[in-house]
Chain A
Amino acid sequence: SQQGEEDPQALSIQEGENATMNCSYKTSINNLQWYRQNSGRGLVHLILIRSNEREKHSGRLRVTLDTSKKSSSLLITASRAADTASYFCATDAGGKLIFGQGTTLQVKP
């Protein structure tokens, strides 16, 4: 399969806790992106990390990239109920995005 693997597939936490999602991929990449998708809706772009970057922050989000291990992680700190959604990593290898299988995050109030 061209798709990457994400784990966990599902994650349930309490509001205020941190959530960590991992993504592994198979091919060389130009960049890796993380998206959020609320149920039945379109995608919301969260953050892009280039292949020569190791870590990037955006608000409560922290993304790491390890190209030697072909893996990335997304950390959401101080989670909120509104963070409940599915999260996908997507690798860009020449213009087209290949999506991971996604992690469904539930944040309980």
Chain B
Amino acid sequence: GAVVSQHPSWVICKSGTSVKIECRSLDFQATTMFWYRQFPKQSLMLMATSNEGSKATYEQGVEKDKFLINHASLTLSTLTVTSAHPEDSSFYICSAADRLNTEAFFGQGTRLTVV
């Protein structure tokens, strides 16, 4: 299947700083990418849908000014957690869909710890 690479796999940052997470589709063009957040022992919650060349669509309750999403090319979407707080500590996972949106391919996830 197609490969989606997410980087970094884990990051520790101080409160108040910003962290950028990258999601790359390695062998296909992803017109749409999705960002999820998963708290311990819980399911994945969709945060936003990222469309190449346009603004992201955020799910209800997700602060777009805090979670900045940029999808500047067909192979790269980034999620920036701005002014991170300890409650932002979570597992963030991206997925990418090909042009036909037939199947979503997931990155390995990024574990963010804010201290």
Name A's B-contacting residues (CB within 8 A).
Answer: 2-3, 33, 35, 40-43, 45, 48, 88, 92, 95-102
Contact = CB atoms under 8 A, between A and B. Distances in A.
B97 interface: yes
A35 B111 CA distance: 19
Given A40-B111, A95-B32, 18 more contacts: A3-B43, A3-B45, A33-B103, A42-B93, A42-B107, A42-B108, A42-B109, A43-B106, A43-B109, A45-B105, A92-B104, A96-B34, A96-B49, A97-B95, A99-B43, A99-B46, A101-B43, A102-B43
Interface in B95-115: 95, 97, 101, 103-109, 111
Contact of B104 (A2, A97, A101, A102): A97
Nearest to B31: A95
Nearest to A9: B41
A77 B43 CA distance: 24
Contact of B97 (A40, A45, A95): A95
B106 A42 contact: yes
Contacts of B1: 45
Interface of B: 1, 6, 32, 34, 36, 42-46, 49, 91, 93, 95, 97, 101, 103-109, 111
Interface SS, B side: strand
Given A95-B97, A99-B44, A41 B34 contact: no
A6 B105 CA distance: 22
Contacts of A101: 42-43
Contacts of B43: 3, 88, 99-102
